[in-house]
Structure 1
Amino acid sequence: MDVALAVRARGITKCFGDVVALDGIDLDVARGQIHGLVGPNGAGKTTLLGLLLGLAVADSGRLEVLGAPVGRTPAAPDGVAGFVDGPGLYPSLTARQNLAALAALRGHDKRSAAIDDVLHQVGLTDVADDRARGFSLGMRQRLGLAAALLTKPRLLVLDEPSNGLDPAGKKHVHGVLTRLAAEGTGVVLSSHRMDDLEALCSEVTILATGRVVFSGPLTKLAAEHPELDFRLLTSDPRAAARLAGEVAGIRVVDDAAAWRGADALVVRALVPALDELVARFVHAGIAVRELAPVVSPLEAAFLTLTEQQETGR
């Protein structure tokens, strides 16, 4: 048993009638790591998060959470907190009252100072005495995170925590998750926001049709799927399109806009070839005003891997 792991899953299978939600899942999440869970709708993400939270048990396989085997009856493992499908809140109670009630139910710290601290961490101090029924989706998500923080979890499990967050809310949530990981808490989160996962996660697991199609560091994912489409904005789009066609390893995906007089040019390339293209632009006196992937490396790999799984390639 590896005590350095917050989660260790081997061969996890879960069925609902004839539907196989999870099919032989292996997963390792280190303590002090933010691990992203990615997959299309119906891939099994919520089912897996529910197993980690003790809301259900696997049909077969072995699951260890915080170094202890998970039993065969649904029960929240000690030291684990979080939510799936949104946090459960009392709409008629204020944010402060919700946290006090949840703390009392779970036998955790319900002192005003502790509640004020977690409200501050998630940026809800100003609405602490407002009723939850009037909260936006993003505010409810942050209040659910505050409830989890009251338990001082060693494993935090979150389902789409960025739903409904404005930039300020996103900043608070990212700050909390980064701090928890730095203090040694394992964090598992699912999200359809690839930018959030790339900003927060050191490792990701991609699920498709209930199976793992990739699990590992983001750097490994980028190395295995390195060719991307890049959007270029330059001072001379026509000359840029001509030069792009002359560099080995560069494929011009869309130069129609450039020849119509627009600034955009889309090329498909490996990074070394792209470096060569930029060097030629500089030598030719063409200013590069923007260079960015059309989709992120994580999103590109996600689309490739899940499409391959769904088509059986």
Structure 2
Amino acid sequence: MDAPLAVRARGITKCFGDVVALDGIDFDVAPGHIHGLVGPNGAGKTTLLGLLLSLAVADEGSLEILGAPVGRNLGGVAGFVDGPGLYPSLTARQNLAALMGLHGRDRKTPKIDGVLGEVGLTDVADDRVRGFSLGMRQRLGLAAALLTEPRLLVLDEPANGLDPAGKKHVHGVLDRLAAEGTTVVLSSHRMDDLEALCSEVTILATGRVVFTGPLGKLSAENGELDHRLRTSDPGKARALVAAAPGVRVADPEADVFVVRALTPALDELVLRLAKDGIAVRELAPVVSPLEAAFLALTEQPEAGR
């Protein structure tokens, strides 16, 4: 028998006064996946994450988490919205010990040292949190969530303020959790983070779902994309590209130029270049498929149009 969805939302509506934050959305997350939530400011991402963490209640619709209606079973869910709640006057270790106490667990458990090490904060475990950078606070918030061994982890901008090494560290933690069966729902404005981590994404705009599904499907539906093309023989490549079917070229006089095409046409172009002995040294999207789709699906028409 198939495992229940980690999240199943149907017709979820949430209003704050006259403001409709979520407008009848459907939202599914499969167990053991990292699911990205993306949208412009005010799209409803924070509201949806708050519902998943039982910080708010929907006005309409049904929401099931880990196979049970929300509110029936709060166990197995952890995370943070708008940054983790921490005690600045306490150390990192003391913050986690206080959390363990709230959950009725032994504050001296070795698990505290384990999660601090997992998020790369062992060296600052006894430093007061008031001196932590934004990235260090985000990592401590992740450590706090890991203490409860959640089956659903909900994170709001977990890579916010992280340097490249810290981001790589956090990505590794989330990848491991998903591989072990934990479901992760995260929001981010960093398209590169979402593309590196997520198997599926949901794009929100003005409180509605405008896309949900695998990243591969999003790329396939996105149409033509601009790609930077750099080769071992720009002159010869320029002539070949100009004659390639389904390919348009910008900056044709440059050594590194931009081509626009659907994926099949790009594949055929690469094969033709290789056949003519031209090495492709770079073929990369100018804008990532996720970012291009995000802009296309959430762009608002200008007033007066």
State the TM-score bracket (shorter-chain normalisation): over 0.9
Q: 1:108: Cα distance to partner?
A: 3.8
What whole-Å deviation, never above 9, does each CA across 1:234-279 have from its counterpart, x for those lacking one? 2333443332221110011x21xx52xx422001111221122223
User: 1:172-211 maps to which residues of 2 (within 5 A)?
Assistant: 172-211=169-208
Q: Please tell me whether residue 21 in structure 1 is matched to residue 11 in structure 2.
A: no
- How far off is 1:109 after superposition? 4.8
1:38 to 1:18, Cα distance in 2 relative to 1, 3 A: same
Matching of residue 295 in structure 1 with residue 287 in structure 2: yes
Q: Is the 8 A contact 1:156 1:187 kept in 2?
A: yes
Alpha-carbon distance change, 199 to 136 in structure 1, aligned in 2, over 3 angstroms: same
Q: Percent identity?
A: 79
Distance 1:97 1:169 in 2: 22
Partners in 2 of 1:19 and 1:266 — Cα distance? 43
d(CA) in 1 for partners of 2:45, 2:125: 32
**Dislocated runs of 4+, deviation >4 Å:** none
**Secondary structure of 1:55's match?**
coil
Q: CA separation in 2, counterparts of 1:65 and 1:27?
A: 11
Map 1:136-151; keep pairs closer than 5 Å: 136-151=133-148
* Amino acid in the other structure paired with 2:101: A
Residue 60 (structure 2) aligns with: 60
The equivalences for 1:108-147 within 5 A come to 108-147=105-144
2:255 aligned to 252, 263, 276, which one? 263
**Paired residue type of 1:266:** V
Matched with 2:99 is 102
Amino acid at match of 2:279: A
Deviation of the 1:76 alpha carbon: 8.4
Distance 1:173 1:273, change over 3 A: same
RMSD: 1.9
Give the TM-score taking structure 2 as reference length.
0.94
Q: Unmatched 5+ residue regions in structure 2?
A: none
Q: Separation in 1 of the partners of 2:162 and 2:244?
A: 43
Task: Write the distance in 2 (CA, Å) between the matches of 1:282 and 1:180.
Answer: 41
After superposing the two structures, state which structure 1 stretch, 35-44 or 192-201, moved more.
Answer: 192-201
Letter paired with 1:41: N
Residue 45 of structure 1 aligns with which residue? Answer: 45
Cross-structure match for 2:301:
311
Q: Distance in 2 between matches of 1:238 and 1:42?
A: 48
Amino acid at match of 2:180: E
CA distance in 2: counterparts of 1:273 and 1:232, whole angstroms: 14
Q: What are structure 1's unaligned runs of at least 5 residues?
A: none
Following TM superposition, by how much is the alpha carbon of 1:230 offset from its aligned partner in structure 2, in angstroms?
0.5
